[in-house]
Amino acid sequence: MKKTVVLYPGVAVTHFVPMMQLIDALLEEGYAVVVAIIDITHSKNLAFAAAVDRVAASKPSVTFHALPRIQDPPVVTTDARFLIGYFELVRRYNDHLGEFLRSMPPRSVHAVIVDSMSHVALDVAKELGIPTYTFVSCSASALAVSLQLPFIRKEGQVCLKELGDSPLDFFGVPPVPASHQFGEMYEDPKSELYQVFVNSFRKILEANGMLVNTFDSLEARALGALKDPMFLPGGESTVPPVYSVGPLVEKGGDETTKEKHECLAWLDKQPEHSVVFLCFGSFAFHTEDQLKEIAVGLEKSGHRFLWVVRAPPRGDTFAVHGDPDLDTLLPEGFLDRTNGRGLVVKQWAPQVDVLCHKAVGAFVTHCGWNSVQEGIIGGVPMLCWPLYAEQKMNKVFMVEEFGVGVEVVGWQQGLVKAEEVETKVRLVLESEEGERLRARVTSLKEALATAWNEGGSSHAAIRQFLLDAADVGMAKGRA
């Protein structure tokens, strides 16, 4: 009987999709894969449901098991208390996860990999004596900062809010302004939200290891720090083994099996490296005023553009966005004046395919980690416009550490002016600095291409994880 690796993803698409990219590597190593799913698709998480269906259809040899639905699930709000509701939702499924793992043939489970945001499920597998690992979908650099932050507060630093843009020094990464940290760290240390947030990072340290969605040549400094025995001060906690198994991003479409998206056909007609692509993630949106500023900046830049525009959400984390009314949201006559030079797409575009297209020369991004790696895969320099969560930290790493992007000034004030959009688009597409950015991201693209080759760093990391899991299993008497 094949040994089985059980994947337990979170219910956020941005966490689910990269974890699913582990499947092919595990299958190639001769393991069976089972994906246990929290079944909330009956409610409003339609994007997650679609992602599950898409992956399941593409991997017929993999078993997808929906855990039984719980009664009266907790409400997951979109406000500051989102994490409290989310963690409680996962906790409520722990009994069902345990029942499922116990139903599998004895000693058949080689390891369980739990999404980092589902950390409250770690104890379920550990109590059954199963080697248990966390999957970290963010950058190694953001992980390094997050693990050190509680110790900074513990050492008596004043409230982060009071520090403003003052830089904070962390082991393994460049200085990060206090204003760029997770919003939860601005809360009163005695508050429930603060405690829940800090404890979530402490909890993942209890895993047998962490699989991080990155690759060695991109984040050598942060990965080296995480593996240093003296990484965390005081000796109270140690970091479990870290395996850099990225980049794990959803593969582009196969043009031979499905119709090409309209934007790809449009890109085919554009000169090489001539188009700036603007896309701000699954849940990002801008005000009408900001959309108009972007439009004016793009028009004045004189450059070709492909822009994904979304309407604001309907007040629910998992609600489907309505189609944006472009005539209302964009300046009068904008679409007519830029017809042929620009293309505005509603809601969604095949981002991986777009970024890998030879016509794309710049990427305006919200700095979500999946998008950052997709930009590198495409060899495209980036204009960094962070919006929430760890994206503000990623901006620092992209500009100061990786050298793949420039900051779009004004995001902190809540409105990026048209002049800034125009200036930064011109900088990347016209200047020597833009050429330097392109050279740097191209070199990383080439390094990334070898990470999953036989003997490459990520290929070696997944094999090491499987070997280490076997050793952990033997120590637990599961051989």
Length of the chain: 479
DSSP annotation of 157 reads: P
- Ordered DSSP codes for 96-127: HHHHHHHHSPTT-EEEEEEEGGGGGGHHHHHH
Give, in degrees to the nearest 5, the angle at Cα 143 between 183 and 4. Answer: 120
How far apart are the C-alpha atoms of 216 and 226, rounded to whole Å?
12
Starting at the edge strand that comes first in sequence, how are the strands of the sheet with 342-346 ordered? Answer: 342-346, 304-309, 275-279, 360-365, 382-384, 405-407
3-state secondary structure of 358: coil
Which residues, other chains included, contact 423 with Cβ-Cβ below 8 Å and sequence gap of 6+? Answer: none
DSSP annotation of 207 reads: S
The residue annotated as part of the active site, out of 15, 110, 119, 303, is: 15
Which residue, among 171, 151, 168, has the nearest Cα to 223 in the 3D structure? 171
| Residue in the structure block whose two tokens are 């997944």 | 462
- Ordered DSSP codes for 281-296: -SS----HHHHHHHHH
| Chain-centre distance for alpha carbon 347 | 19
How far apart are the C-alpha atoms of 408 and 62, rounded to whole Å?
42
The residue annotated as part of the active site, out of 115, 216, 353, 468, is: 115
Radius of gyration of the chain (CA): 22
C-beta of residue 397 within 8 angstroms of C-beta of residue 173:
yes
| Chain-centre distance for alpha carbon 85 | 20
How far apart are the C-alpha atoms of 373 and 419, rounded to whole Å?
28
Which residue, among 189, 207, 117, has the nearest Cα to 152 in the 3D structure? 189
H or E element in which residue 158 lies: none
Q: Buried (b) or exposed (e) across 216-255, using 16+ Cβ within 10 A?
A: bbbbbbbbbbbeeeebbeeeebebbbbbbbbbbbbebeee
Would residue 119 show up in a list of annotated catalytic residues for this protein? no
Would residue 165 show up in a list of annotated catalytic residues for this protein? no
Provide the token pair at 370.
């999946």
Residues involved in catalysis: 15, 115
